[in-house]
């Protein structure tokens, strides 16, 4: 069943408030940390959040409480089992889109057309201005307070902040569990040995196809990329940056050329991913020498443009945290990547569902640009 037959065009979203609500972070002091000072605890455990001087400022501002009492003395001695609460003060998050288009919806799931620039889940500077927040607000607006607290749709996978297109969300616990398993199973198949793949050959229950615009003219019409993806230390990315790495985890992308533009020196491609590693398409296409057009982070070879991972800026911003990195980070936008088509086995009915997100004009072939209205999508064949 295609998305056109199950939902009418629906767009929702509330404008973002000027400031978010701030965040409260809770900790219980382990007995192994008993005897540490307040500033030692935070500057050691959360050194990725702020330098020592930044944590001193936060404590002296009265942003941290111990067992319900605000403590401004950074040298206060902590006891095991004490409850600490750090209040990150409200701030203005960067401007991002707030409207979301519904591509498909039933009692179990909802598929959204995520705009480029909007983050899916909270992280970093974006704690309120996310897809998840708009989903929560939508449920509260439509339902009584008690019901809206019980459950709301949640994304079951991620798209990069700069990536647009189909984002699948679950509306029930059963759907969430099964859809998450679909994505995990697809990734695990890529790393399986040949015998295991043969055993599981017919079990893939979800397929994702993207459109991308890459630099240069890709010579081959079809390319299979199986470069492993791992992490390296990188400033501004606490858990490490994903890159092409021989010691990384298996990943597989199938690339097909749709159109070459010799005048602009770029190629429009279709990419089917059979694993779900973070930033996989950006890394794989840059690995073969054709980074996404406008990608501020990845360059040929599947590596970052700036690779000096030893330099750490110890200065701190007004809120005590580190300044935004001057080097490119994964959330930076500017590239052209769109989750165009998704085919899945419905998590409760096993019916095959076909969902298509309309293409941005820059990601259309010449034929599509000349023959299709801008709002029309192309449904995949059953």
**Could you read off the pLDDT of 134-173 as tens digits, one per residue?**
999 999 888 766 554 557 899 999 999 999 999 999 999 9
Mean predicted confidence (pLDDT) in 112-136: 95
Mean predicted confidence (pLDDT) in 311-316: 54
Mean predicted confidence (pLDDT) in 232-259: 93
Give which of 133, 70, 75 is closest to 100, Cα–Cα: 133
Residue 5 has a pLDDT of 43
Helix (H) or strand (E) holding 366: helix 366-371
Residue 311 has pLDDT above 80, yes or no: no
Mean pLDDT of the chain: 88
Question: Please, what is the Cα angle at 249 between 115 and 347, to 5 degrees?
Answer: 55
Residue 119 has pLDDT above 80, yes or no: yes
Residue 114 — pLDDT band, cuts 50, 70, 90? very high
Residue 27 has a pLDDT of 97
As given in the structure block, the two tokens for residue 63 are: 């942003």
Residue 179 — pLDDT band, cuts 50, 70, 90? very high
Q: How many residues does the chain have?
A: 382
Q: Which residue has the tokens 């005590």?
A: 320
Residue 267 has pLDDT above 80, yes or no: yes
Q: Which of 72-76, 292-296, 314-318, 325-329 has the lowest mean pLDDT?
A: 314-318
Residue 193 has pLDDT above 80, yes or no: no
Residue 198 has pLDDT above 80, yes or no: no
Q: What is the C-alpha end-to-end distance of the chain, expressed in Å?
A: 8
As given in the structure block, the two tokens for residue 363 are: 């990601």
Q: Which of 5-9, 85-89, 258-262, 371-375 has the lowest mean pLDDT?
A: 5-9
What DSSP character marks residue 295?
A: -
On whether the CB atoms of residues 333 and 241 are closer than 8 A, the answer is no
Residue 28 has pLDDT above 50, yes or no: yes
Q: Which of 92-106, 134-148, 151-165, 215-229 has the lowest mean pLDDT?
A: 134-148
Residue 236 — pLDDT band, cuts 50, 70, 90? confident
Residue 57 has a pLDDT of 94
Helix (H) or strand (E) holding 136: helix 131-142
Residue 376 has pLDDT above 50, yes or no: no
Residue 184 — pLDDT band, cuts 50, 70, 90? confident
Residue 257 has pLDDT above 80, yes or no: yes
Residue 306 — pLDDT band, cuts 50, 70, 90? confident
Mean predicted confidence (pLDDT) in 255-264: 97
State pTM to two decimals. Answer: 0.86
Q: Give the rounded percent of residues in the chain with a pLDDT score beyond 70.
A: 84
On whether the CB atoms of residues 15 and 137 are closer than 8 A, the answer is no
Residue 366 has pLDDT above 60, yes or no: yes
Residue 191 has a pLDDT of 64
Residue 322 has a pLDDT of 64
**pLDDT greater at residue 197 or residue 335:** 335
Q: Which of 27-31, 52-56, 197-201, 287-291 has the lowest mean pLDDT?
A: 197-201
Q: Which residue has the tokens 């279709």?
A: 270
Residue 268 has pLDDT above 90, yes or no: yes
Residue 296 — pLDDT band, cuts 50, 70, 90? very high
Name the packing angle between helices 52-60 and 38-45 (round to 10°): 130
Mean predicted confidence (pLDDT) in 289-294: 98
Mean predicted confidence (pLDDT) in 227-237: 92
């Amino acid at each position: 069943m295609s998305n056109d037959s199950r939902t009418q065009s629906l767009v929702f979203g509330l404008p973002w408030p000027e400031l978010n609500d701030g965040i409260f972070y809770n900790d219980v002091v382990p007995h192994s940390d008993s005897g540490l000072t307040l500033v030692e605890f935070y500057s050691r455990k959360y050194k990725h959040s702020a330098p020592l001087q930044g944590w001193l400022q936060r404590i002296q501002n009265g942003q941290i409480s111990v067992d319900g009492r605000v403590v401004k003395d950074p040298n206060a001695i902590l006891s095991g089992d004490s409850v600490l609460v750090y209040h990150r003060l409200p701030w203005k998050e960067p401007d991002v889109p707030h409207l979301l288009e519904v591509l498909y919806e039933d009692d179990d799931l909802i598929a959204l057309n995520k705009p480029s620039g909007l983050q899916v889940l909270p992280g970093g500077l974006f704690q309120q201005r996310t897809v998840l927040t708009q989903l929560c607000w939508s449920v509260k607006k439509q339902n009584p307070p008690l019901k809206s607290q019980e459950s709301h749709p949640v994304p079951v996978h991620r798209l990069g902040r700069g990536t647009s297109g189909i984002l699948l969300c679950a509306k029930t616990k059963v759907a969430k569990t099964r859809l998450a398993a679909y994505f995990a199973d697809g990734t695990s198949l890529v790393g399986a040995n040949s015998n295991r793949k043969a055993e599981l050959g017919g079990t893939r229950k979800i397929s994702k196809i993207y459109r991308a615009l890459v630099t240069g003219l890709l010579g081959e019409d079809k390319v299979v990329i199986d470069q492993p993806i791992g992490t390296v230390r990188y400033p501004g990315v606490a858990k490490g940056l994903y890159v092409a790495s021989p010691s990384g985890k298996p990943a597989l992308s199938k690339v097909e050329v749709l159109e070459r533009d010799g005048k602009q020196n770029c190629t429009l491609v279709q990419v089917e991913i059979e694993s779900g590693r973070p930033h996989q398409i950006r890394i794989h296409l840059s690995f073969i020498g054709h980074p996404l057009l406008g990608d501020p982070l990845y360059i040929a070879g599947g590596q970052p443009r700036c690779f000096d991972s030893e330099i750490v800026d110890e200065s701190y911003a007004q809120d005590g945290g580190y300044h935004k990195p001057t080097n490119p980070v994964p959330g930076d936008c500017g590239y052209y990547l769109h989750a165009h088509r998704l085919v899945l086995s419905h998590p409760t009915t096993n019916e095959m569902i076909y969902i298509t997100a309309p293409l941005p004009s820059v990601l259309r072939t010449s034929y599509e640009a000349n023959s299709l209205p801008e709002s029309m999508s192309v449904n995949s064949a059953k």
